[in-house]
Structure 1
Amino acid sequence: MTPVALVSVVEDDESVRESIESLIRAFGWEVLTFDSADAFLRSGAVHRTRCLISDVTMPGMSGLEMHALLLSQGSAPPTIFITAYPNAQDGSIARANGALAYLEKPVDSSVILEKVRQAIGKA
């Protein structure tokens, strides 16, 4: 039996985190949620994650900083960034570091699903 792909969601806003979790779960993927980059990094789920959805701006380590750390460790999964505060600099950094997407909140659920399918296909 093929294991179900794991999608990890790192988002400090509980309502956004729960909304994305419900969406991902409804399409049959396993999903784990974390309220901070640190919680995700300490979870042991990094190496199992086939797609990472991360907020950019969070208390403590930002999503971009977390992604850069994962890249430096050779363990960055395909990553979709979401943000309520889009700006050209963050978008450029995300794309330069190989992010699948840099999306403005509120994000259309069909766009998230398309990007998750793309990520899981690449992993």
Structure 2
Amino acid sequence: MVPLICVVDDDDASREAISGLVRALGHRVAEFSSADAFLAFAEIGRVEVLIADVRMPGMTGIELCELMAASGSAIRTVLVTAHPSEADRQGAARVGAAFLVKPVSPAALAACLGAP
């Protein structure tokens, strides 16, 4: 079965652009506009990779990773941001996530996701 990749980003255009890239790389995609919406996803146990925006209203991408790890449901994660900071890079490293800057490079994203 083709891996399921979830994209969590509060910015519609960014979420759609990243989802389009993921589809073009041969993966199935589910999109969410918030961390809370993702956490309510019935198929969360089937998610292969999570791509989450670092800065979102409510729960941030880093906080989402921390919550997933604390609940024993850690998912391989790629954190993305349009406003990179050293603190965000360190946060991504702390939670074991890859870190990409928007606009996301197709080659960089492909490297993070691996082959379908």
Residue 112 in structure 1 maps to residue 109 in structure 2: yes
Runs of 5+ unmatched residues, structure 2 = none
Structure 1 residue matching 2:29: 3-state secondary structure: strand
Task: State the aligned residue count.
Answer: 116
CA contact (8 A) 2:35 2:60 kept: yes
Give the superposition deviation at 1:116: 0.8
RMSD, aligned CA: 1.4
Residue 47 in structure 1 maps to residue 45 in structure 2: yes
Give the superposition deviation at 1:117: 0.8
Residue 102 in structure 1 maps to residue 105 in structure 2: no
Q: Structure 1-normalised TM-score?
A: 0.88
Runs of 5+ unmatched residues, structure 1 = none
AA partner of residue 42 (structure 2):
G
Partner of 1:82: 80
CA contact (8 A) 2:18 2:104 kept: no
Give the superposition deviation at 1:51: 0.6
Give the superposition deviation at 1:13: 0.9
Partner of 2:59: 61
Farther off after superposition, 33-42 or 11-20: 11-20
Q: Percent identity?
A: 42
Give the superposition deviation at 1:45: 2.8
Please give the alpha-carbon distance, in whole angstroms, between the structure 1 residues aligned to 2:73 and 2:12. Answer: 26
Q: Structure 2-normalised TM-score?
A: 0.93
